[in-house]
Amino acid sequence: MNINIIREKILEVKARRDFTEIQNYFETHPDGIELLVTVLINEEDYPLKEYSSWILVHLCKSHPNLVRPFYDQFVDLLFISQDQTVLRNVVNIISHLKIKNYRESELIDVLISFIQEHRNKVALQVYSMQILALFVLKYPELKKEIVEILDLNDKDKTPAYNSGKRNFMKKTKKINLDLLN
């Protein structure tokens, strides 16, 4: 498989937005997923990195087993990329995969930083909340700090942010903050 073929496929998706076709392509050419990830990790020029991450979101939703082997690379990218589209899509990808111990505390910190940075897109913040909810279920002692951060950062936020916050609280409601003190 040639990386230029993958670049052409990415540009086809940009032109036609046919995710069913591209998912079928990678089902039959799973070796191309590594090249798709390479385009993303190398942060190739627009539209390649943005659309490769979007394709990976769709692949992850339908075939997480094809994307799961690249979990560590996705986490690493969160510490490098400054591209809001890439960050949003990579956090979305991670939110559909089972969390691993890889760079766990650093990942929690970067997700919190995405919420605290007001210039970040709300979707990046909401996807960060989804992953943080998973970490709170694993480490209940994190809930109090994360709830405080969500509360401190919800001023003048969109309905999408508030919905993400409500979903976080709903997913973690069994963890009683009073019992953690």
Q: What percent of the chain has pLDDT over 90?
A: 90
Q: What is the pLDDT of residue 177?
A: 59
Greater model confidence, 147 or 19:
147
- The domain locations on the chain are 1-85, 99-181
- pLDDT tens digits, 12-39: 999 998 888 999 999 999 999 999 999 9
Please answer whether residues 116 and 149 qualify as being in contact, where contact means their C-beta atoms are separated by less than 8 angstroms: yes
Dist CA 109 CA 107 (whole Å): 5
pLDDT at 180 over 70: no
Instruction: Give the CA angle between residues 93, 98, 104 to the nearest 5°.
Output: 90
